[in-house]
Each structure stands twice: as C-alpha cells, then as structure tokens.
Amino acid sequence: MKNKAKPQKAVIAIDGHSGCGKSTLAKSLAKKINYLYIDTGAMYRAITWYLLENKVDISDEEQVAQAIEPLAITFVKSETGNHVAVNGEDVEKYIRSMEVSKSVSPVAELKVVRDKLVALQRQIGQDGGVVMDGRDIGTVVFPDADLKIFLTADVETRVARRVAEYLEKGQTISYDAVKENLTLRDHIDSTREISPLRQAEDAVVIDNSHLTKVEQLEQVVGLLRERGFAV
Ligand code: DC
C-alpha cells in the first residue's frame, strides 16, 4: 500500500484554558511559518458582542438563533493582523471588554452558535496552512489536525498576564476580578454539554508557565519538523 502523501501545509490546532497564551503562540507561529491565523475565541466573542449590543436575551436560544442566522462573521485585514468582523464591520476593539468576557461562555454553550461557527471554521481551514486556536479545535473542528497542542499554564501566571494585557490597554481591572472571570469561564467551557474543552488524546501538552515566548514557539516548530512539514 502506498503511503499517503504528506499535505504540504498543515492544520495546526491549539487548544487550552482561558488566558494561557494560545493566541500569542498561534499568532507568532502563523507569522513565522506564513500560515493563516484564526482566533476562534474572537468569533464567539464577536457573536456575543452583537447579541449584547442588540439586547438579545442570551438565555433564549430561539431568539439567539433568529438574531445570528443572517450574520456574516469574517476576518478583515488590519495593520495589526486579521480582525474579526460582523457583517463587514471590524469589531475587534469591542470584543475583549469584561462585559463580553462575562457573557461569552454562556453564549458559546448554545448549539446554534457552535453549529454556525464550527462550520465556518472547517471551511476556512479545509485547505490547510492554518493555525487555529480555541477550545475544541483538536477534538471537534479538526479531529484529524496534523498537529494538536494543548497549552496550559498555572492560574496565577494566567491571571497576571491578563491583568498586564488590560493595563497595556490603559484599563485597570483587579487581579481578583480577572481570576474570577478566568476560573468561571474554564468551569463553564470544560463542563458544557456540547464540545467541552478537553485535551485530545493525541495532543502534545505544553505548560508554558516557565517558558519564554521564543522557547514555546521553537518547541512547536520542532514538532512540525518532526512530523515532516517543511517549516
Ligand atoms: O479564546 P478566548 O478566551 O477569547 O475565548 C472566549 C470564549 O469563547 C471562551 O471562554 C470559550 C469560547 N470558545 C469556545 O467555546 N470554543 C472555541 N473554539 C473558542 C472559544
């Protein structure tokens, strides 16, 4: 039997808990190897922002279904990389607020929301050459991904990094408020009925609590080379 030819461009799935630096790793990896970077959390956040903005009752799945049915969720180019857009409007600057962070996990529990976004994510990644980060990429969206990373970091490190990110944007959010949000989201994301956050059996676990950004990037590039990808 002939060996199946290696696809030229990999599908790379990066999953893990809230605030462990998935986006930082995924973005720098995509840049280094010239792949497309897709932040699936931004897609869930964009829908959440839209629902809050339009005062849709997020506990009513029927209402949510009607509201999101006509929505186009896309990515648009910007100077700082790809930004998520709703019906063509770049909404990146609205989606990282604490208000959106508080409602995004309940919204991401809804089947109607997951069905829409998972279909879109599969379409975007179907030809490979993509680094996608989220919670269910290696388990549900691309169970056959060429490389699956499950990223973790201890909770203190995750909270401290998130607080620093807010500070960089000029927002002061207390350590305790961030910790409460991260741990609550982790709980909802890991225990929900549909596509809960869990480590895929064939995922490589990287704990980056004590790794620099360069070290974790090099580890992942090494894993891709081991798998025969010319990166
Ligand atoms: O990656 P993030 O923290 O920006 O994601 C925001 C929320 O979106 C997260 O708490 C859970 C949800 N999410 C999800 O359910 N599935 C994904 N693939 C990505 C994010």
**pLDDT tens per residue across span 144-163:** 999 999 999 999 999 999 99
In short, whether 182's Cβ falls inside 6 Å of ligand 1 is no
| Reported pTM | 0.93
Q: Which domain holds residue 187?
A: 11-221
In short, whether 131's Cβ falls inside 6 Å of ligand 1 is no
| Confidence at residue 7, expressed as pLDDT on a 0 to 100 scale | 59
In one-letter notation, the amino acid at residue 111 is K
In short, whether 134's Cβ falls inside 6 Å of ligand 1 is yes
Within a domain: residue 227? no
Whichever domain contains 100, its CATH number is 3.40.50.300
Band (pLDDT 50/70/90 cuts) for residue 1 is: very low
Within a domain: residue 95? yes
Nearest CA to ligand 1 atom 8: 41
User: How many domains does the chain fold into?
Assistant: 1
Assess whether pLDDT exceeds 60 at residue 3.
no
Nearest CA to ligand 1 atom 9: 105
Within a domain: residue 2? no
User: Ligand 1, from 37, 39, 40, 132: best to mutate by most atoms within 8 Å of Cβ?
Assistant: 40
Rounded average pLDDT over 80-90: 94
Rounded average pLDDT over 127-132: 96
Assess whether pLDDT exceeds 80 at residue 2.
no
| Confidence at residue 189, expressed as pLDDT on a 0 to 100 scale | 92
| Confidence at residue 219, expressed as pLDDT on a 0 to 100 scale | 97
Q: Which residues make Cβ contacts (< 8 Å) with residue 12, sequence separation at least 6?
A: 26, 29, 35, 130, 131, 132, 145, 146, 147, 148, 149, 220, 224
Within a domain: residue 56? yes
Within a domain: residue 30? yes
**pLDDT tens per residue across span 166-216:** 999 898 999 999 999 999 999 999 999 999 999 999 999 999 999 999 999
Within a domain: residue 1? no
Tell me the CA distances in angstroms from 71 to 50, 58, 86, 132, one per residue in order.
Answer: 9, 16, 7, 21
Assess whether pLDDT exceeds 80 at residue 46.
yes
Tell me the CA distances in angstroms from 59 to 2, 45, 108, 192, one per residue in order.
Answer: 52, 16, 11, 15
